[in-house]
Structure 1
Amino acid sequence: MMDEARYNQLVSAAFKRILAAADTIDPDILEADSTGDMVTLTAASREKCIVNTQRAVRQIWVAGQGQGIHFDYDAATGTWKDDKGRGLELMSFVADVVRGITGADFVYPG
C-alpha cells in the first residue's frame, strides 16, 4: 500500500484537476464545493457528484447517478482506475457523471 504522504499528493492533484474543470462551467449550471477530503459538484437540478477520499484503503470514491465507484491509483499509467476492473478511469467517470446531471461538457484544463 502506498504511504500516506504520496496518497495525499495524488488526491490533492486529482481534486485540483476536478475543481479546475468545474470552474470552466457556469455556476448556474454546476456549483463546486471543496471541504478537504471531499469535492461536491451540484447541478442546477440539485443532483450531485461527490468525490471523496477513502484514506484507510488509499482510494478515491465517487458517487453519482446512482452509482458508487472506488478508484485505486495505478502507478503504471498514472491514473486512478476502478477497483473492480471495469475499465473506468476517475477523471472520465467524473466527466460522464457531470455531463449526465448537467448536459455540459466537463473539460479538464490542459
Structure 2
Amino acid sequence: MMEEARYNQLVAMVFKRMLAAADAIDPDLLEAESTGDMLTLTARSREKCIVNTQRAVKQIWVAGRGQGIHFNYDEASGTWQDDKARGLELFRFVADVVHDISDVDFIYPS
C-alpha cells in the first residue's frame, strides 16, 4: 500500500489543480470550497460535486451524478483510476460532473 506521505502529496496536488480550475470560473456559476480533506464544488443550481479523501484506504472519493466513485492512484500511468475498472479517470470524471451541474467547462491548468 502507498505510504502516507506519498498519498498526502498526491492529494495536495489533486486539490490544488482542481481549485485552480475552479478559480478560473465565475463564482456566480461555480463556487469552490476546500476544507481539510474535502473539496466542494457548488453550481448556481446548488447541485454539488464533492471530492473527499479516503485516507484509510489511500483513495479519493467523488460524489456526483447521483453516485459515489472511489479512485486509486495508478503509479504506472500516473493517474487516479476508478476502483471498479470502469475506465473512469478522476480529473475527467470531475470535469464531466461539473459540466453536468453548471454547464461550464472545467479546464485544468497545464
TM class by shorter chain equals over 0.9
AA paired with 2:79?
Answer: T
The equivalent of 1:44 in structure 2 is 44
Q: CA RMSD in A?
A: 0.4
AA paired with 2:15?
Answer: F
Q: 5 Å matches for 1:16-95?
A: 16-95=16-95
Give the whole-Å Cα distance in 1 for the aligned partners of 2:70 and 2:35. 19
AA paired with 2:32?
Answer: A
Off by >4 Å, runs of 4+ in structure 1:
none
Q: CA deviation at 1:65?
A: 1.7
Q: CA deviation at 1:36?
A: 1.0
Secondary structure of the 1:18 match is helix
Q: CA deviation at 1:67?
A: 1.1
Runs (5+) with no aligned partner, structure 2: none
Q: TM-score, with normalisation over the residues of structure 1?
A: 0.99
Runs (5+) with no aligned partner, structure 1: none
Give the whole-Å Cα distance in 1 for the aligned partners of 2:65 and 2:80. 19
Instruction: Give aligned-pair identity as a percent.
Output: 76
